[in-house]
Amino acid sequence: MSKTFTDRLREDRRLVLLRLLSEQPGYRANSSNLHAGLYALGIAATRDDVTTDLHWLKEQSLVRLESLPEVPDLVIATITSRGDDVVSGVAIVPGVRRPGPR
């Protein structure tokens, strides 16, 4: 079954989220900053897209998530070593675009 354009965009967005996290001091960022990072890179996404992708990445053990009770719509994501392996191209996870060679 071939992937739709929407599927490809989602896979790319997930890789970019992981890349953004891998470039942050402490390897973590909140969902609002990640949304702004996607926008700055020309990737159209809603805040709901970002939150949904972060929860999906968590299910794949690529990120850890923390919620802040005082700010229920904000999530803090931290990349895991497995997530970093995906960014580096060492691990392949269906649903996340594989990065090209550097």
pTM of the predicted protein model: 0.95
Q: Report the pLDDT value the prediction gives residue 17, as an integer from 0 to 100.
A: 98
Residue 14: other Cβ atoms inside 10 A: 23
Predicted local confidence at residue 101, as pLDDT = 83
Residue 13 to residue 3: CA distance in whole angstroms: 15
| pLDDT for position 68 | 87
Task: Encode pLDDT of 31-86 as tens digits.
Answer: 999 999 999 999 999 999 999 999 999 999 999 999 988 998 899 999 999 999 99
Q: What is the pLDDT of residue 45?
A: 96
Amino acid at 69: P
Q: Tokens at residue 85, please? A: 């392996």
Contact assessment for residue 85 and residue 45, using Cβ atoms and an 8 Å cutoff: no
Q: Is 61 left (phi over 0), alpha (psi -120 to 50) or beta?
A: left
CB 96 within 8 A of CB 18: yes
The whole-number pLDDT of residue 49 equals: 96
